[in-house]
Amino acid sequence: MAQQTVFRLPSKGAGYDKLSEHWEAVPKVQAHEVLLKIHATTLNYRDLVIANGGYPFPVKDNVVPLSDAAGTIEEVGEAVQDLKKGDWAISNFDVTNLYGPQPNWLNGLGGPIDGVLRQYIAIPATAIVKIPSSTKLSWSQLASLVCTGTTAWNALYGNLPLKPGQTVLFQGTGGVSTTGLMLAKDAGAKTIITSSSDEKLKMVREKYGADYCVNYKSTPDWAAKVNRITEGHGADFIFENGGSGTIAQSIACVARGGQIAVIGFLSQAKEMPDVAALVLDKGCIVRGINVGAKQLTEDLVKYVCGKDLSVPVEKNFGFERGQILEAFKYLESGGHVGKVCIEIVKA
Ligand SMILES: NC(=O)c1ccc[n+]([C@@H]2O[C@H](COP(=O)([O-])OP(=O)(O)OC[C@H]3O[C@@H](n4cnc5c(N)ncnc54)[C@H](OP(=O)(O)O)[C@@H]3O)[C@@H](O)[C@H]2O)c1
């Protein structure tokens, strides 16, 4: 394994069809690093906007895209004590953020620093989260815990934690929403999910057990519907994936004192509502989410792997360039429900 296949994007916004394939040396581990053999990775909406344009944070030129790696440790640096060859592990999204709020946007894999669309990565041992080898989760499901899983966990447990019996509302049926749905259902919450598609809503009800489904296209005032479902109480937690275009509806249906996790930026407001006045009226918390520190990922892994929860992976693609482009195209089409993954080592 002296050489490996690596994919690179020439620059931010160049377009995913400009991804190029390289044959490069497998990195040597430094004293405090481990060499991770990557079995699977996943695509996030972030990877699409890094490739196509619209990502607001720094991205290095010629970046190795993608942030989420699951694999086995092949080698450990001489100063690494708590990990060994053969251990199962995932990467942490930000390689420097061990605890607390994210300090900046300069250390996220697959953006400001090289990511994981390759066979091997040398990574600080402190940025590794160990996976119990008894896990029944696939490598793709494990990789999905890195960005999507930690984000959903952060939204539910990063501030005032979710309690059984509370109501959680998810916008859309993408990776973050369906993973959050899995976590919230398992924790005893009542769940409401929205989608632009009745077909997708049927699927999330049947496959993932969403309690209530609302089509946000045919029901533009979906907040009123959520208020009816909750008998006027509102949702205790909201996964705000739309951003400025949906925040007014979210505040309209959040419970008094509830929490809105501002996660995504999928819809832009033509005219921004007076968020300060609306929030003041509701006495709610509006909290920006930046994926999450390693400590949150560790808590998530303990919960999900301890219960072998079925992380919602929808489709796996191969590690050939054509397949990778297909994976990007599929995510871009919005046809997915759950996670879109790439198997680097064929399962
Ligand atoms: N802040 C963070 O730390 C963080 C971390 C991860 C992701 N994110 C962000 O969170 C968002 C979701 O990420 P993801 O990975 O889950 O994306 P994804 O898998 O691509 O899912 C996107 C889904 O969102 C739904 N959607 C699109 N426009 C919508 C709108 N106006 N209202 C409600 N739902 C809408 C669609 O669902 P339907 O087809 O069912 O309508 C779409 O399939 C993205 O903006 C991403 O950048 C942020």
Give 347's pLDDT tier (boundaries 50, 70, 90).
Answer: confident
- Ligand 1 atom with the smallest distance to the CA of 154 is 3
- Please state, in angstroms and as integers, the Cα–Cα distance from residue 73 to each residue in 4, 82, 132, 139, 270, following that order: 16, 12, 13, 14, 48
d(CA 300, CA 244): 28
Q: Per-residue pLDDT averaged across 254-272, rounded?
A: 94
**Residue 339 alpha carbon to ligand 1 centre in Å:** 11
**Residue 25 alpha carbon to ligand 1 centre in Å:** 36
Helix (H) or strand (E) holding 237: strand 235-240
What topology is assigned to 3-144+312-343 in CATH? Quinone Oxidoreductase; Chain A, domain 1 (3.90.180)
d(CA 144, CA 90): 9
Compute CA 88 distance to the chain's CA centroid, rounded to the nearest angstrom: 20
Residue 277 pLDDT greater than 80, yes or no:
yes
Angle at 68 between CA 63 and CA 74, to 5 degrees: 95
Residue 4 pLDDT greater than 90, yes or no:
yes
Write down the domain spans for the chain.
Answer: 3-144+312-343, 150-288
Residue nearest to atom 9 of ligand 1 (CA): 264
Q: What is the mean pLDDT of the chain?
A: 97
Q: Do the beta carbons of residue 39 and residue 68 sit within 8 Å?
A: no
- Please state, in angstroms and as integers, the Cα–Cα distance from residue 13 to each residue in 9, 88, 112, 213, 312, following that order: 9, 34, 14, 35, 28
d(CA 58, CA 332): 21
**Residue 300 alpha carbon to ligand 1 centre in Å:** 20
Q: Is 333 exposed, middle or buried (0-12, 13-18, 19+ CB in 10 A)?
A: exposed
Residue nearest to atom 45 of ligand 1 (CA): 264
d(CA 46, CA 306): 29
Q: Per-residue pLDDT averaged across 282-304, rounded?
A: 98
Helix (H) or strand (E) holding 281: helix 275-282
**Could you tell me which of 276, 35, 51, 300 has the C-alpha nearest to residue 161?**
300
What tokens does 287 get? 């909290």
Strand, helix or coil for residue 261: strand
Give 174's pLDDT tier (boundaries 50, 70, 90).
Answer: very high
* pLDDT at residue 255, as a whole number: 98
d(CA 16, CA 315): 19
Give 1's pLDDT tier (boundaries 50, 70, 90).
Answer: low
Q: Is 71 exposed, middle or buried (0-12, 13-18, 19+ CB in 10 A)?
A: buried
Q: Per-residue pLDDT averaged across 99-122, rounded?
A: 96
Residue 18 pLDDT greater than 90, yes or no:
yes
Could you give the percent of the chain with pLDDT greater than 90? 97
d(CA 64, CA 257): 42
Q: Mind listing the pLDDT tens digit for each residue in 220-253?
A: 999 999 999 999 999 999 999 999 999 999 999 9
Beta-carbon count within 10 A of 185 CB: 17
**Residue 173 alpha carbon to ligand 1 centre in Å:** 8
Candidates 3.40.50.11540, 3.40.50.300, 3.40.50.1000, 3.40.50.720; CATH matching 150-288: 3.40.50.720
Q: Is the CB of 262 within 6 Å of ligand 1? A: no
Residue nearest to atom 44 of ligand 1 (CA): 264
Strands 33-43 and 339-343 turn out to be antiparallel
- Crossing angle of helices 294-307 and 150-157, rounded to 10°: 100
Residue 213 pLDDT greater than 80, yes or no:
yes
